Amino acid sequence: MADWKDEVEEIVFDGKICVPYSWTVGSTLSKWYGIMRDDAEIWANRCPSCEMVFVPPRKKCIYCYEDMNEWVKLPGTGILETYTVVEHPEPGVYPRETPFIYGIIKMDGADTGLVHFIEGVEPDKVKSGIEVEAVMSKEREGNLMDIECFRPVD
């Protein structure tokens, strides 16, 4: 019995499709991004039940499912828990020229990690456990890149 796909010619069209649409990040992240944009501060929210502190903030606690309405200002410092060095260029894909470092930062005062760029240290010198601080962008737009990067604390 012949497979119907054997009789079909495969045609591939390379191209881009423009799909214009708008979306919202919701009330919790909108507030978080607004605070970073307007005040150059990093805040988190705390679960009223288990007291876990989340950054980025969440609408509901992922452990207790409680509404998260208590906000906590963070000092903007933390510990680099883990990282990766991106060395192979992908033009038009990566937000920075290679090599660059992505890391997970456990911010002081928070129980969760935040993924962001690490700068101010050479890729071959970076290590887990270093203390880092947030560098806020001079011109902020209300998105994650309002934190320009994290760099080692002197």
Location of structure tokens 């991106």: 86
Q: Could you tell me what percent of the chain has a pLDDT over 90?
A: 77
Location of structure tokens 């050479």: 122
Per-residue pLDDT band at 1 (split at 50, 70, 90): low
Each residue of 88-109: pLDDT tens digit? 988 888 888 999 999 999 999 9
Q: Where are the alpha helices (DSSP H) in 3-139?
A: 26-39
The closest alpha carbon to 52, from 6, 96, 113, 4, belongs to 113
CA atoms of 142 and 146, how far apart (whole Å): 6
CA atoms of 120 and 104, how far apart (whole Å): 16
Average pLDDT over residues 21-48: 94
pTM of the model: 0.82
**Residue 13 clears pLDDT 80, i.e. is over it:** no
